[in-house]
Structure 1
């Protein structure tokens, strides 16, 4: 008999959150710890990862902090073993350079694609291989509404997120029969360090809020439920999916949340 009260439990599982030092990653790490996982908080900013780990240890004393730079292929290859072969992987690390296509520089293109797309592939390959070998696992990657709807200056970022979603579907087709599920979450606008440029402009901030059905920005904590769901047995028949957590932004095609009459 299914114990529905335990559907969302990840009790005793080892989880790794890459990008756990701040924003969405920090909140997801705490959420997984609250539901029973021992969380490896991994980040390029290891001091920030330690801060997150200390928050997780209040729930799960075996949680730890680790350094990782996903643009370093050797580090990523060694990470699954170094982190104790996690059964849950949440990858949130990303960056954005807001610049129109004709103005984009080669070094900016390299930085964004190296982290957002190449880094994602390396993480998918390394941790996916570890999970496939052991016949169990759940992988969750952070995409974005920008994989579907873009605006001037978001072309490269959007392309990397569209590529991420394609990799998620491909990995699901290859890994799922081996006991490993692969999914993504596509947030809308969230109050994180990545969106600080927009938050600092009151007009820009209000305009973004108005484009979702809920008429507001998300807090990082509002992504936790989706991540725990996809990581847990509650999503045991979910793989190759992209779960939109965007306040209805894509549902209303990025239009205003308010009705205007002529």
Structure 2
């Protein structure tokens, strides 16, 4: 494909985890606008009547809702089985589900560490392994992880999250090395500071909010719709020769 037709997702099925709100909701809507039907997955995803369903169906696309607790390995295995049992194969997997725990490292509990690593890294691998196997068999597929600025930096008071997101960077490259020659693209989006529930504590702290904003060359925090273009790009044939990339959408933060 050439030109804008390379971004057309008509006929594709995209699974978006963490689709109930924030970045995941925005990416699900963007993929639907490009033509994809959506499987929206979240820990508390409503079976019907959700915001993501409303947005996707308003664009004339189908939305299937599934719930899965990403802190539970058995639940992730059940999700993988449910996806394998759909009436069509998964063309696009957007691994966006995540959680965070904020506490100084000396006070960071084992429970918080285990939960964050399981949700943000272990479950991402388990689901990708299952869905990716089918993509390899068919010789095509797009996998997109949500990484973080903390895939490159250490952050403050979020050691588990920083470790998990650093792991996502490595996992993106590792899978790309194995699967690029099998027709499967594996890449990651690197969000900067975004106006979502996960950053509410930071935005409520006047000093931290000001310090962060002062470092962003774009002069504002990101909004979920800022990820629409890169999500469609990485999910489409326009990115067929892009493998193992971590693409910042950060208002210039990493270049500062």
User: TM-score under structure 1 normalisation?
Assistant: 0.91
**After the TM superposition, which of the residue ranges 60-69 and 233-242 deviates more from structure 2?**
60-69
What is aligned with 1:226? 230
Deviation at 1:186, TM superposition (A): 0.6
The residue matched to 1:11 in structure 2 has which SS? coil
- Cα distance in 2, alignment partners of residues 48 and 202 from structure 1: 38
Structure 2 residue 12 is the aligned partner of structure 1 residue 32: no
- Cα distance in 1, alignment partners of residues 54 and 73 from structure 2: 26
What is aligned with 2:51? 51
Selected match of 2:138 from 134, 138, 143: 134
Structure 2 residue 76 is the aligned partner of structure 1 residue 72: no
Deviation at 1:202, TM superposition (A): 2.8
Deviation at 1:217, TM superposition (A): 0.4
Tell me if the contact between 1:172 and 1:183 (Cα under 8 Å) persists in the aligned partners. yes
RMSD: 1.5
Correspondence list, 1:1-262, <5 A:
2-47=1-46, 50-70=50-70, 71-73=72-74, 74-83=77-86, 84-252=88-256
Tell me if the contact between 2:192 and 2:253 (Cα under 8 Å) persists in the aligned partners. yes
Tell me if the contact between 1:97 and 1:108 (Cα under 8 Å) persists in the aligned partners. yes
- Cα distance in 2, alignment partners of residues 14 and 27 from structure 1: 16
The residue matched to 2:46 in structure 1 has which SS? helix
**After the TM superposition, which of the residue ranges 140-149 and 40-49 deviates more from structure 2?**
40-49
Cα deviation, 1:73-115, whole Å, max 9, x if unaligned, reads 3224314314442101111111111112211111111111110
**After the TM superposition, which of the residue ranges 16-25 and 101-110 deviates more from structure 2?**
101-110
In structure 1, list runs of 5 or more residues that go unmatched.
253-262
The residue matched to 2:253 in structure 1 has which SS? coil
User: TM-score under structure 2 normalisation?
Assistant: 0.93
**After the TM superposition, which of the residue ranges 191-200 and 41-50 deviates more from structure 2?**
41-50
* Equivalent pairs, count: 251
